[in-house]
Amino acid sequence: MIKEMAANKAEAEIRVEKAVKETERLQAMLNDVITMVDPSVQLASLPQNGEMYGVPIALKDNVCTKGIRTTAGSRILENYVPVYNACIVDKLKAAGAVTIAKASMDELAMGGTNMTCFTGPVYNPWDRSRMSGGSSGGSAALVASGAVPMAIGSDTGDSIRKPASFCGVTGVKPSYGRISRYGIIPYSSSLDHVGYFTRSVEDACTALHVLAGRDDRDMTSSYEPVPDYLNLLNSDIKGKKIAVFGNVIEAMQNQETKDMFNGLVSKLQDAGAIVDTFYFKEELMKALLPAYYLIANCEAAANHSNLDGIRFGVRKDGASMEEIMTASRTAGFGPLIRRRFVIGSYGLFEENQERLFRKAQKVRRLIVENAGECFKEYDCLIAPASGSIAPLLNDRSLDELGDDYLIAENHMIIGNFGGFPSMTLPMGFEQGCPIGINLTCRAFEEVQMFNFAKAIEDITGYKDLKAEVK
């Protein structure tokens, strides 16, 4: 755990060396790392004190690291070495953390399986026949296996919170602007959030205190003061009002998950919380995923227009600049990414912007307003993070366009649409695999969110879970 920091440099070196060896040992079974990072330079210049002194960590591979390869899981960036650090890299270094690995991810953070990385799929530590979830699945697997106590992820739709559910860890997506995105290879600028994984709520509090704060290089970062989350942590939820996400519960097909969730809700009531059911407008819930795809992929097409094989990245031969760009992008991007760029480019055509992109933005605003109605009355919105445990790697049975899937598996997008703080933590187990509960609160009310999470953690007892990788 983060709070079990090294007492001195010698202890820090031992802890980091142990983490490196364990990460390398597990790599053959989990495939959760793209690049191992030599910690020796970091250890030689550890600060005298810090909240994460000597703590080994991993970074999702869309986090720029000066002099260290950063691929974003895409073959087109296989040879890209940044000349600067992301803001959070410097913050973590100043706190004494030691980066040992760049974690696998879905290509350019576009996906929910972590099966599209150019290095191959990440395997779930609890059951290697199942996926880790994505796009931050490598980071989630590293924490779940016990290799590191904390890892950075990013979340554009549920890319931290869904892998957290599948891997049995705590996954936090704070408010939009709470953590600087400077130096993070983007997916969708209006939806991207930097977040992280830990194995306890206490560690989640420490991590956010290190990472949060204004950064003038990211104009979307907030001036909001950064509370001392750990010292403010309090699991007393007497009189607090919780909304159960009614649309999600009704859309879910797995009765075992429903029963588990309802049992936890009853215990929250026993702890003094006031629990009701809140229903979003059904037509908005069915429009949630289509609006997300349009907004995210239109922004992605614009953000990644520079990945052309000319300015940087992997270049393929051609007789002209146009041929070089076409060959480089064809070879550099996987099929899922190419499809998403087609959608995004189509939505950005001048004749389509009002009909598609602007309409999706209007739907987004209506969904956020609907969420605002919930938060006028309730302190927290809760639902299972997923309708089931992690799917099998070869599972193609899901009807992703069915109404049940659209709502039950995509509701966490609301946290990105509204910039609300949202997190997932373990709720229970089915077939030996974990499944999580998700909670969402008002913007910049992370203190309250952590308090609810701590109450849940106290009830379930699921703290510092580690998978025994087989």
Active site residues: 60, 135, 159
Residue 13's Cβ-side half-sphere holds a number of Cα atoms within 13 Å equal to 8
DSSP secondary structure code for residue 192 in this structure: -
Judge residue 220's burial from the number of C-beta atoms within 10 Å of its C-beta, 0-12 exposed, 13-18 middle, 19 or more buried: middle
Of 166, 93, 92, nearest to 128 (Cα)?
166
In whole angstroms, give the CA distance from residue 52 to residue 378: 34
Residue 172's Cβ-side half-sphere holds a number of Cα atoms within 13 Å equal to 31
Contact between residue 139 and residue 174 where contact means Cβ atoms under 8 Å apart: no
Map tokens 């099929």 to a residue.
335
Length of the chain: 470
SS3 assignment, position 56: strand
Sequence-distant (≥ 6) Cβ neighbours of residue 392 within 8 angstroms: 129, 130, 131
- Token duo for residue 315: 């270049």
| Strand ranges inside 234-343, DSSP E | 241-245, 274-278
Q: Mutual orientation of helices 137-144 and 9-30 as an angle, nearest 10°? A: 120
